[in-house]
Amino acid sequence: MRRTLLIWLTLAGAALVAFMFALATGSSRLPLQDVLQALLSPGGSVAGEIVTQLRLPRALAAFAVGGLLALAGALMQVLLRNPLADPYVLGLSGGAAVGALGTMLAGLGAFAAELGAIGGAMAAIVLVFALARRDFARQQTLGVMEASPRPGEPS
């Protein structure tokens, strides 16, 4: 229990350091004191505008996207019961690329390319699940047993 709490506190501290680093760095570096001042009282200062209007939304979005991608990967591995499952192995990325490229070649807009990518990924995963439902291993084993050179063995 104590070790788990220590791990969680360490990870939370590392996330806080990374978050503050994201707020402090950019095209114009801000001292940590200015970042903290901008977070606590975002007045009309230039540092306050930079932090609250530009860097804070980007840092929050980056943390949210990273967490959701980690969650999606973990769910994919749990649902498929395969620790090596990822979008590249399953063909999701390739299906999304084919769908997006198809809509681009058709001359449709950028929004249609996103819909095409979603459709291509869905088609790829449906194909993977349909092929996984078939029992290829059983059919192959039966074929080998029927072609056995020993006539006395049952098939």
pLDDT in tens, 10-66: 999 999 999 999 999 988 888 889 899 998 887 778 888 899 999 999 999 999 999
What is the spatial distance between Cα 7 and Cα 15, in angstroms, rounded to a whole number? 12
* 113 & 148 share domain: yes
> Do 37 and 22 share a structural domain?
yes
Handedness of CA 139, 140, 142, 143 (dihedral sign): positive
Task: Identify the domain boundary among 41, 65, 84.
Answer: 84
Whether 71 and 94 share a structural domain: no
Q: Domain check: are 48 and 66 in the same one? A: yes
Which of the two residues, 114 and 144, has the higher pLDDT score? 114
Cα–Cα distance, 48 to 44 (Å, whole number): 7
Q: Supply the range of the domain harboring residue 59.
A: 1-84
Which of 52, 84, 116 lies at the terminal end of a domain, its last residue?
A: 84
pLDDT in tens, 67-87: 999 998 898 888 888 888 888
Question: Are 72 and 105 members of one domain?
Answer: no
Beta carbons of 35 and 23 less than 8 angstroms apart: yes
| Residue 151: per-residue pLDDT | 57
pLDDT at 6 over 60: yes
Q: What pLDDT sits at residue 139?
A: 58
Smallest Cα–Cα separation from 100: which of 82, 83, 114? Answer: 114
End-to-end, the C-alpha distance of the chain in Å comes to: 55
Q: Which of 46, 66, 84 is the last residue of a domain?
A: 84
- In angstroms, rounded to a whole number, what is the distance separating the alpha carbons of residues 7 and 13? 10
Instruction: Give the list of residues 6+ apart from residue 91 with CB closer than 8 angstroms, or none.
Output: 124, 125, 127, 128
Contacts of 75 (CB under 8 A, 6+ apart): none
90 shares a domain with 79: no
Q: Are residues 99 and 147 in the same domain?
A: yes
84 contacts 106 by C-beta, under 8 angstroms? no
